[in-house]
Amino acid sequence: MPEALSPRRRLAYALGSAGFSLADRVVYVVVIFFYLPPAGSGLEPRVSGDIFLGGLTAFGVATLVGRFFDAFADPLVGNASDRSRSRLGRRRAFMIYGALPMCAIPVLLFFPPSPEAGTANFLWLSGLLALFYVFFTIYVAPYLALLPELAAGHGERVRLATLLAWVTFPVTIGFGLWTVGFDQLTRAGVEPGDAIRAVVVVLALASFAFCLLPIFGIDEARFVRAEPSDLSLRQAVRTTLVNRPFLVYLFAQIFFILGVNMIQPVVNYYPRVVLGRTERFAALFGLVLAVATVVGFPIVRRMGDRYGAKRTLVACVTVFAVALAMLGGLRPAPPGTAQDHVNLALSFAVMAACGIPVAGFMIVPYVIISQLIDRDEAHTGMNRAAMFFGVQGLCTKFVYGISGAILSFLFARYGNSFEEPLGVLLVGPVAGALCLVSALLYLLYPEQEVLAAGRRSQGTGSPPTG
């Protein structure tokens, strides 16, 4: 029998999530701000904002190129990890190889070859995004596969997923302070490009430190007992894609990811484009969301215990969709005007309303995919946790690229400045509609069927009946 994790080792594992989340946020949030900055930030565009082929932009194409490599890396890494018999551990070995490049490449993205928009910067952005996402997958897919292996049964998994949320949340919310650091450095006379690079270097160092903790803290020989897979890549992908409950979950995730990854980078545009303030004002949004999410964690835990993972996630996604749609009511106005007061009240109300949903998103999907992994193990006799995350990545990583392409199209076609704000204003309602579709799809997830099979596999725990 594997040893139980001590609280210290559980914390070390959980903090790895904070590490790769920081690297991901730099690439997804700060990179678009650097390459397609809002007017007044002091930064110049590093790639062209022109639209071609009906709806593509240079940034959108670069994002799609990166996600193309990302998507196909997921099942390759997942199957290789599931089949691995490395003495370092079939998950740990990959995490060791992926950690340093994953944290270093985001820094290189902020040193393009030219200070002006052009082909060289486009190629630099495309190539580095492709490399980043490959190494991101090499670290993250095996890391996530450890969660159902380290925690057996519904209750243990909820507790470990909740711990991941608790330790990751303050780090990712604190990430919003990058705008404060950027603003302070520019106010002190630092050139805006150098200011944003300094902030990114600090974030990358913190990311790397967090990513090392589970590598040193989790010895798979002591804490994990799981039968490696002997399926080929083709067999593993096919076996996963014929899993009907997984497909329902997967399609719901696709629409959710498309919506949520459109709205995240835009939060940093609202202060300057809508509110007539600087980027540091976004930190106040982060503070309100942080408090609301902390309040939401115990509420989500009780909801999960009483109603089950499916109903809890449906409720969270629905509330989130409605809140995002409300952002369509914003109208740019100078500070101190009547419309500005309406904008402030609406913005902070939306941030507060998103607290419980965000808490749910940080916990419940881990529980659901662990249920699906247990069901598969009951049918196949093999633990293929990384392949489930890999196939999920194959089918959803294109969505991340699509969301970036849609976002850059909205900015290019409808504007992302105080004078031409429509591109920013449209994001909330569009993202809300996509999340609402996700909630409807989650309703189709057959939770009771999955739980019944999972209990036969684990032989432990009694999930809520929902």
Query: CB of 310 within 8 A of CB of 367?
Result: no
Task: Please report the pLDDT score of residue 59 as a whole number.
Answer: 87
Q: Is the pLDDT of residue 460 over 50?
A: no
Which CATH number characterizes residue 238's domain?
A: 1.20.1250.20
4 lies in a domain?
no
Task: Please report the pLDDT score of residue 154 as a whole number.
Answer: 65
Mean pLDDT over the full length of the chain = 86
Closest to 218 in 3D by CA, of 13, 3, 386: 13
184 lies in a domain?
yes
User: pLDDT (tens digit, 9 = 90+) per residue, 173-228?
Assistant: 677 778 888 889 999 999 999 999 999 999 999 999 999 999 999 888 788 776 66
466 lies in a domain?
no
Closest to 121 in 3D by CA, of 132, 102, 108: 108
User: pLDDT (tens digit, 9 = 90+) per residue, 79-113?
Assistant: 888 888 888 888 899 999 999 999 999 999 999 99
53: confidence class by pLDDT, cuts 50, 70, 90: low
280 lies in a domain?
yes
Report CA-CA distances (Å) from 368 to 245, 246, 296, 302, 373: 10, 9, 19, 16, 9
Q: Is the pLDDT of residue 119 over 70?
A: yes
Q: Is the pLDDT of residue 458 over 60?
A: no
Six token digits for residue 84: 């691995």
User: pLDDT (tens digit, 9 = 90+) per residue, 182-196?
Assistant: 889 999 999 999 999
Sorted by sequence, the CB contacts under 8 Å of residue 298 that are 6+ apart come out as: none
Query: CB of 52 within 8 A of CB of 201?
Result: no
Q: Quick check: pTM over 0.85?
A: no
Q: How far apart are CA 403 and CA 29, in angstroms?
A: 12
Query: CB of 74 within 8 A of CB of 394?
Result: yes
Structural domain including 121 reads 14-454
Task: Please report the pLDDT score of residue 279 as a whole number.
Answer: 67
Q: Is the pLDDT of residue 169 over 80?
A: no
Task: Please report the pLDDT score of residue 465 as a whole number.
Answer: 41
Query: CB of 215 within 8 A of CB of 99?
Result: yes
Q: How far apart are CA 395 and CA 389, in angstroms?
A: 10
Task: Please report the pLDDT score of residue 54 as a whole number.
Answer: 64
Helix, strand, coil share of the chain (percent; to 5): 75, 0, 25
Six token digits for residue 455: 């209990």
- Buried residues in 382-407 as b, exposed as e (16+ CB within 10 A): bbbbbbbbbbbbbbbbbbbbbbbbbb
118 lies in a domain?
yes
Q: Look at 122 and 456; give whichever has higher pLDDT.
A: 122
Q: How far apart are CA 404 and CA 381, in angstroms?
A: 39
Query: CB of 442 within 8 A of CB of 97?
Result: no
Six token digits for residue 386: 């990384």
239 lies in a domain?
yes
Give the pLDDT mean for 439-455.
87
In the chain, what percentage of residues exceed pLDDT 70? Answer: 95
User: pLDDT (tens digit, 9 = 90+) per residue, 400-424?
Assistant: 778 877 887 888 888 888 888 888 8
226 lies in a domain?
yes
Q: Is 1 helix (H, G, I), strand (E, B) or coil?
A: coil
Structural domain count, the chain? 1
Task: Please report the pLDDT score of residue 463 as a whole number.
Answer: 44
463 lies in a domain?
no
Task: Please report the pLDDT score of residue 149 as a whole number.
Answer: 83
Q: Is 277 helix (H, G, I), strand (E, B) or coil?
A: coil
